[in-house]
Amino acid sequence: MSLLWLRLAVILYGVAALAVLPAALYHRPRWRHVALPAALAGAFFHFVSITETLVAAHRALPVDTHETLSWFGLLLVIAFLVLATRYRTVSFGIFLLPVAVLFTIVPAFRPGRESLSYSLVGTGWLLLLHIALLLTAYAALFLSLIASLLYLIQERRLKQKRAEPQRGWLPPLETLDQIGLNALRFGLPCMTAGLLIGSGLALQTIGLAFFADPKVLLSFAMWVAYVLMIFIRTHSGLRGRRAVYLSSFVFLGVLAVWAANSLSAVHRFKAP
């Protein structure tokens, strides 16, 4: 049944992704009443699917690449729903919902058999917390990147007088800037706690050799870049194109670290 719920969630995400387009781009507010309920229902069935999978497997954490991507997709949909509720805008759904569909459609219709090889599985809920916190931090960074891109688009539209601020499909520039910065501020403690928990678990089971892995050191370097990005944006008022470049650089760096860690001795995805 978990696979059925996940497939239903993907279909609802697709409906929401399509409904967002006329609501945000063509000033058809009635489509909001389709997009938001569809996304909310999809998130509910998605959560039910994940819960059933974990309960049936008698574990509390994802163990393969498909499950990890599914978790990330759910986080993006939750971020969309929070933004739609808090800021009364569905513009972010143009980007977040299609990505959530892409991340979820493969595990829904082509479930994989890759297992995540952890020498730390016996640590239970701490390892689950480590994974969940890092996935949340990645989602927050992606959201910040999208906010920066939308800021750039809105700024250009306003300069060219192509749309009035109150009638455009995007929120005001100040709102977009606050969303991007608040996403970073929310993601930083998640990334920090995730790295600390993972390091503590590794020290207990692997020892100091864990820190000899260049990929692990690169993860901490990305944490430093994350901190610097928040500092620069907070104290220099960085916006527009430069903010896009900075967010893109850090986000691509995080993706590189994620890919590198999947090949390391500590975070390895392999077929059984």
> pLDDT class for 214, splitting at 50, 70, 90?
low
Residue 54 pLDDT level (bands cut at 50, 70, 90):
confident
Q: Say whether both 145 and 269 belong to one domain.
A: yes
Non-local (6+) Cβ contacts of 147 within 8 A are 92, 176, 177, 179, 180, 183
Give the model's pLDDT for residue 7. 92
Domain count, the chain: 2
Give the tens place of pLDDT for each residue, 170-198.
788 888 888 888 888 888 888 888 887 87
Same-domain check for residues 66 and 158:
no
Is there a single domain that holds both residue 60 and residue 141? Answer: no
Q: Are residues 144 and 247 in the same domain?
A: yes
Q: What pTM, to 2 d.p., does this model score?
A: 0.68
Domain that holds residue 59: 1-113
Task: Give first-to-last CA distance, the chain, whole Å.
Answer: 24
Same domain, 160 and 194: yes
* pLDDT reading at 109 higher than 70: yes
Strands (E), 31-163: 115-117
For residue 219 the two structure tokens come to 């993860």
Is 137's pLDDT higher than 70? yes
User: What's the CA gap between 164 and 264, in Å, rounded?
Assistant: 51
User: Cα–Cα distance between 38 and 34 in angstroms, integer?
Assistant: 6
pLDDT mean over 40-45: 97
Check if the beta carbon of residue 136 is closer than 8 Å to that of residue 187. Answer: yes
Cα distance between residue 21 and residue 94, in whole Å: 6
Are residues 154 and 58 part of one domain?
Answer: no
User: What angle (nearest 5°) sits at the alpha carbon of residue 68, between those of residues 67 and 72?
Assistant: 115
Residues 191 and 97 occupy one common structural domain: no
Distant-in-sequence, close-in-space partners of 63: CB < 8 Å, separation ≥ 6: 57, 115, 116, 118
Share of the chain above pLDDT 70, in %: 74
Helix H or strand E segment including 243 = helix 240-261
Q: Where are the beta strands (DSSP E) in the chain?
A: 115-117, 268-270
Predicted pLDDT at 60: 62
Shared-domain flag, residues 131 and 8? no
Same domain, 101 and 128: no
Residue 171: left (phi > 0), alpha (psi -120 to 50), or beta? beta
- Chain centre distance of CA 195: 17
Cα–Cα nearest to 106, from 57, 142, 61, 70: 70
Q: Is there a single domain that holds both residue 126 and residue 249?
A: yes
Which parts of 101-227 are beta strand (E)? 115-117
How far is residue 129's CA from residue 105's CA, in Å, rounded to a whole number?
Answer: 25
Q: Are 36 and 93 in contact (CB under 8 A)?
A: no
